[in-house]
């Protein structure tokens, strides 16, 4: 468990080192530091995601194309498909079906004819923040699938590394806000609570990587805080401070020097 109240760095040294290694891996295979520094943090605002009034799958298509543009993958061939809806677990006002495994938030599959098929869970149409995070993750799969070498730790950690890659592409705010959902429902005859976890790494890990990206792009804490869930703001200030420590800056600088070409 992460010691939120301990005095040292919030993220364990091993995980921190792995993130810096992933950052170097991503820089190495996406053009290096100079083009990367032309990127921006992607924010949940109308500037980045103007809405044309579409609904349903058309809305998902609109968001998907916007995410592709912000990820620098506008011309990468893709097909977007909606998954089948999860079965309703509410049998009656007094009975729920337990043990049903929900469908994934999204999937990625390389196509034999070229390009990729990306799917999404239709439930996410009600949560654009989560839908953007899903699209960013699946596009990060697509982006890293062609790398000639695995992430630090090997291809067996590709899923966690893909979460890190989505943050690298600028979508850390969306990823952090979508880690955990706890909502109340009331359909008139029945009410209750439901929760959902999305992603392969914790919100602390996402925010730590987002801090690395922010420092690299010259983005200060105040650019991120207004867009985070209130429960995450203190954590982000903490990890940003950790990244700003002299030893972290030295490690970060060595990694950038190695990718300056």
For the stretch 25-77, pLDDT in tens is 999 999 999 999 999 999 999 999 999 999 999 999 999 999 999 999 999 99
In Å, how far from its chain's centre is CA 130? Answer: 9
More confident residue, 91 or 34: 34
C-beta separation of 226 from 185 below 8 A: no
Q: Which phi and psi (to 5°) does residue 75 adopt? A: -100, 10
| Residue 165 to residue 148: CA distance in whole angstroms | 16
Report the DSSP beta bridge partners of residue 181.
196
Tens digit of each residue's pLDDT (9 = 90 or more) over 216-240: 999 999 999 999 999 999 999 999 9
Given a cut of 90, whether residue 7 has pLDDT beyond it is no
Lookup: tokens for 211: 């801090």
C-beta separation of 10 from 204 below 8 A: yes
Question: Of the given ranges (12-16, 46-50, 125-129), which has the lowest mean pLDDT?
Answer: 12-16
The residues near 79 (Cβ < 8 Å, ≥ 6 apart) are 111, 115, 116, 117, 118
What pLDDT is recorded for position 102? 64
Residue 56 burial (CB count, 10 A): 10
pTM of the model: 0.84
What proportion of the chain, given as a percentage, has pLDDT over 70?
77
The residues near 140 (Cβ < 8 Å, ≥ 6 apart) are 71, 162, 163, 165, 166, 168, 169
Q: Whose CA is closest to 206, among 241, 178, 226?
A: 178
What pLDDT is recorded for position 259? 62
What is the gyration radius of the CA atoms in the chain, in angstroms? Answer: 19
What pLDDT is recorded for position 31? 94
Q: Which phi and psi (to 5°) does residue 68 adopt? A: -60, -45
Provide, for the chain, the percentages of residues in helix, strand and coil under a 3-state DSSP scheme, each rounded to the nearest 5.
50, 15, 35
Q: Whose CA is closest to 126, among 170, 85, 176?
A: 85
Rounded to 5°, angle at Cα 20 from 17 and 24: 140
Tens digit of each residue's pLDDT (9 = 90 or more) over 172-185: 999 999 975 444 34
Alpha carbons within 13 A on the beta-carbon side of 157: 16
C-beta separation of 133 from 178 below 8 A: yes
What pLDDT is recorded for position 11? 87
What mean pLDDT is reported for the chain? Answer: 85
- Give the confidence band of 200 by pLDDT, cuts at 50, 70, 90: confident
CA distances (Å), 176 to each of 83, 95, 181, in order?
Answer: 24, 33, 11
Given a cut of 90, whether residue 206 has pLDDT beyond it is yes
């Amino acid at each position: 468990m992460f010691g939120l109240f301990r005095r040292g760095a919030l993220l364990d040294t091993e995980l921190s080192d792995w993130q810096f290694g992933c950052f170097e891996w991503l820089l190495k295979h996406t053009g290096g530091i100079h083009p990367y520094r032309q990127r921006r943090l992607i924010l949940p605002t109308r500037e980045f995601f103007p809405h044309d009034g579409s609904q349903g799958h058309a809305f998902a298509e609109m968001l998907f194309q916007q995410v592709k543009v912000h990820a620098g993958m506008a011309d990468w061939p893709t097909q977007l498909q909606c998954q089948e809806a999860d079965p309703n677990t509410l049998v009656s006002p007094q009975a729920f079906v337990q043990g049903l495994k929900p469908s994934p938030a999204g999937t990625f599959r390389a196509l034999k004819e070229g390009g990729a098929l990306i799917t999404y869970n239709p439930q996410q149409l009600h949560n654009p923040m989560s839908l953007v995070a899903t699209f960013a993750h699946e596009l990060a799969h697509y982006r890293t699938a062609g790398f000639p070498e695995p992430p630090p730790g090997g291809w067996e950690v590709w899923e966690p590394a893909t979460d890190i890659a989505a943050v690298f592409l600028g979508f850390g705010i969306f990823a952090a806000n979508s880690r955990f959902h706890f909502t109340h429902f009331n359909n008139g005859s029945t009410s209750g609570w439901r929760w959902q976890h999305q992603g392969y790494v914790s919100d602390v890990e996402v925010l730590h990587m987002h801090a690395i990206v922010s420092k690299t792009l010259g983005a200060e804490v105040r650019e991120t805080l207004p867009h985070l869930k209130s429960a995450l703001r203190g954590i982000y200030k903490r990890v940003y401070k950790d990244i700003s420590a002299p030893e972290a800056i030295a490690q970060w600088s060595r990694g950038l020097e190695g990718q300056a070409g």
